[in-house]
Structure 1
Amino acid sequence: MSNDCRNNNIVLNSAIDMLMKFRDVESAECIFDSIKKKNIISYGALMSGYNINSKPWKCFKILEEMKQQGVVLNEHVWNILIGTCSKIDMIRQCQYIIDQIPLHIQNLKQIQISLIHMWSKCGSIEMAQNIFKSVHDQDIMIYNAMINGFGLNGMGFEAIELYRQMPNELHDEVTHICVLNACSHSGLLDQARNIFNEIPFKTEKIVTAMTDCLSRLFLFDEAEKLIDEYETTNSPNFIMYMYLLSGARNNHNSKLSEKIYNRMKSLFPDEKEGLTSGTILVSNIYSSIGEYQQAKEFRSSQIKELGQKIKPGLSWTDGSGEIVKVCFVFYAFSAHDNSHPQSAEIHAEVNRMTSEVIKLGYKCDSSWVIRELQAPGPIKRRRKRPETAIKRQLTM
């Protein structure tokens, strides 16, 4: 990069955006640090990149830096921060951010849409509804956000009711997807079928949403038939098969999962990252039925064949509800993580809470435990419910 470019904020901001989209967070941070006169666009590019790369907690540190530098936040940056809150799903942090947003910005349509999504993700559906009701000129995006919010909170009937209240001319692809997802999350099979059949033009994403719904309810024959019909006039869709595979995992159906996974490898040989996720699902299915050695061997051989590395899933929490200099303290951790200096105390507290919930009647379904149980305890392996019984329940 020439010296002229290194002193050009437009170029540097674009470089940050590009590197973040290529998942090169470290290089993007280096460029950000090299900018002598950072502007609101520089900060926004970095924060947006953190959200893209699943590092939302870093946005709060940038917010404090901006405040210290006297940078006035605009609608775009506030929208990014609301998106950050949506990813973290912690009500206290959400409220902390909202309390700082000027009222005239909170009343902007795009901000209201983001707030509905944020509160819905946090489980504060009443807050989302209050914002929805406060919007005078409700348009398609506002409706879609609220329908999606109902779906995220298992309120399928409310989502359908709002969908029916919408003027038909406002329905678009996103609307159909949101209401089908809401039916899916609430187990409303008949309603999903009716809505799907009413849709005049079924796009790829709409068919994918219906595939997800059928797979979640273990109606695999119907889901596969839908995919086959779609593929008579369209190219195969990777996500449809991932939904099928996820449903097979939830149903602990190893034979179906093997069939789906092998078909995915045949149809999508270049989808290395996605196939890695599929490998983990199949491996977990083997573990869920007690085939731990097979799970280990399958996972090892497939990951080696794909030439991929498994990215650990991370969760985060704030430290004891404390705010240090109005900046939240976050701890990221992965499964079986002992890197924190207080790991012993953390695990002891988890064990204490586990004992408490067991006393209150909690029973663990060990089919979701993917490691072999080493000692007897309160966790008992449950026998898999036959698929026919599940289907019979759904039709009652």
Structure 2
Amino acid sequence: MIKSSYAMNPSLLRLLIIAYISCNYLDPARELVNEILEWNFDVVSGNLMIVSFMKVKEVDAAKSIFTKMPSRDVVTWNSMIGGYVKNRLYNEALSVFKKMLISDKEPDPYTFASIMTACARLGDISNAKYVHNLMIERNIKLNYILSSALIDMYSKCGNIETAREIFSRVDRGNICVWNAMINGLATHGLASESVKVFSEIGTKGGVRPDSITFIALLTAFSHSGLVEEGKRHFYLMKEEPFSVQPQLAHYGVMVDILVRAGLLSEAYLMIKEMPMKPDVVIWRTFLSGCRIHKNSELGELAAAQISHLSSGDYVLMSNIYCSVNKWDSAEELRLAMKQKGVRKKRGRSWVEIGGIIHVFKAGDRSHPESSAIYKSLDVLIKLTKMKGFRHETGLVLMDISEEEKEENLDLHSEKLAIVYGILKTGVGDCIRVTKNLRTCPDCHSWIKVVSKVLNRVIVVRDRVRFHHFEGGFCTCADFW
């Protein structure tokens, strides 16, 4: 019936598919796509369907259309790359980008903006440099979007020096470029440099700070523990010449600044007196602070404000209870998680060796070289203990012996990734590791000692910020 009604009118069929998708009627949309894939359809129809399916996270449907398209233009490739990036499938975006390079279509500025975002999210410095070199070879003219993306990419890949260099050379006539630099410095914990760049906006940029500028600046203070500076700029932003009214995100960063410094009561008061309703992100930030400072009473208040607890919320509350030896309460939470089918998000760490990304999970033995990794880890644990390292066993959410807790901590994913990096790189080479969650205090303490014992620079990018370990110290000054 579909064929007989619409086969001679592809435009109508295209519009019908897009209408179904926009109304979230995905099953009939998929049925129509299965029909249309049997016929030839024009590039415009294919592009629109790819974009529409990517918007509703129907990645497989978009991929099917892309694969079957008889011809593709630059928009087709950009729609797939951009769609993968928006759906956080960054490796898939890189794969399509590399296929585009050997096609008859040349990447344009939009292509490069999307693929730089993928490199930034992956922390993939090799591909970041590769993409940047391609832009130079193809004489891609930098506009403020590409300049901002370049600065952001190098910052998130751990190369803040190159980000600084690019910032010094590009046109800074748009506030987005300044925001990218301030945010990059903030992520690396370089608060004083963030303030310096902020102070130059009016004199060297000829532009005015906006809402995003102050979020980046406040984040820099948060990562460096500069409470008074954070407060001062939070109130300063409302005054002339800025006249930027604080939004939910600004209050969120201020709460983060206060809870990191242990000012839980002040943070709670700020949340209660906000001119808008606090969102779940703010309550989770507060809950995280309660975990760090072992305050179960305020932690329970925060958890009560989160209507649908995620696995991370349960883990935070379990951490709080365990830190004050409330084992029964922690066990009740674990049972609640099990009954509700809530699964803890697993930590993953990865390291790039020779252009290949090696991913590790806690206790992972799936790697083909796991035997050598665990032997080396055992040697390194013993060596660091001889140099004064002591496990932070209070982090283990189980009422078990100290020895068992130490064994549990030894298997964390970042330790495995770092050991593999040590095995596969030369003496003096920098080791770069990325983790999808916040680095735990035990691993943080251990990496500091490893950097001193082996005389190696180790850069870890976690969910919160960058940590540069060298000579037994970290640039975060143990504040993250």
Question: What TM bracket, shorter-length normalisation?
Answer: 0.7 to 0.9
1:126-162 Cα distance to aligned partner (Å, 9 max, x none): 2111111112443311111111111011111111122
Secondary structure of the 1:151 match is: helix
Residues 317, 330 of structure 1: 8 Å contact kept = yes
Gaps of 5+ in 1: 266-271, 323-327, 383-396
Secondary structure of the 1:166 match is: helix
Question: Among 65, 69, 74, which residue is 2:99 paired with?
Answer: 65
User: Which residue matches 1:217?
Assistant: 261
Secondary structure of the 1:94 match is: helix
* 1:171 maps to 2:171: no
Q: CA deviation at 1:352?
A: 4.3
Q: Counterparts of 1:351 and 1:336 in 2: how far apart (Å)? A: 13
Q: CA deviation at 1:345?
A: 4.0
User: Which residue matches 1:204?
Assistant: 248
User: Which residue matches 1:182?
Assistant: 220
Query: CA 1:214/1:375 → structure 2, altered by over 3 Å: closer, same or farther?
Result: closer
Q: Counterparts of 1:224 and 1:179 in 2: how far apart (Å)? A: 22
Question: What are the residue-to-residue correspondences of 1:4-15 with 2, within 5 Å?
Answer: 4=10, 5=14, 6=36, 7-15=41-49
1:332-381 Cα distance to aligned partner (Å, 9 max, x none): 44333344454444444444444454455444433444466666289499
Counterpart residue identity of residue 224, structure 2: S
Question: Among 313, 333, 341, which residue is 1:278 paired with?
Answer: 313
Question: What are the residue-to-residue correspondences of 1:5-154 with 2, within 5 Å?
Answer: 5=14, 6=36, 7-102=41-136, 104-105=139-140, 107-154=142-189
Greater Rg, structure 1 or structure 2? 2
Q: CA deviation at 1:215?
A: 1.7
Residues 363, 379 of structure 1: 8 Å contact kept = no
Residues 337, 343 of structure 2: 8 Å contact kept = no
User: Which residue matches 1:195?
Assistant: 233
Counterpart residue identity of residue 181, structure 2: M
Counterpart residue identity of residue 252, structure 1: K
User: Which residue matches 2:293?
Assistant: 251
Q: Counterparts of 1:309 and 1:15 in 2: how far apart (Å)? A: 34
Query: CA 1:138/1:373 → structure 2, altered by over 3 Å: closer, same or farther?
Result: farther
Counterpart residue identity of residue 145, structure 1: A
User: Which residue matches 1:325?
Assistant: none
* 1:295 maps to 2:295: no
RMSD (Å) for aligned C-alpha atoms: 3.2
Secondary structure of the 2:306 match is: helix
User: Which residue matches 1:238?
Assistant: 280
**TM-score normalised by the chain length of structure 1:** 0.80
Counterpart residue identity of residue 237, structure 1: D
Q: CA deviation at 1:72?
A: 1.1
**TM-score normalised by the chain length of structure 2:** 0.67
Q: Counterparts of 2:343 and 2:58 in 1: how far apart (Å)? A: 16
Secondary structure of the 2:403 match is: coil
Query: CA 1:257/1:19 → structure 2, altered by over 3 Å: closer, same or farther?
Result: farther
Q: CA deviation at 1:250?
A: 2.3
Question: Among 299, 304, 322, which residue is 1:262 paired with?
Answer: 304
1:194-218 Cα distance to aligned partner (Å, 9 max, x none): 1112121222221122112112222
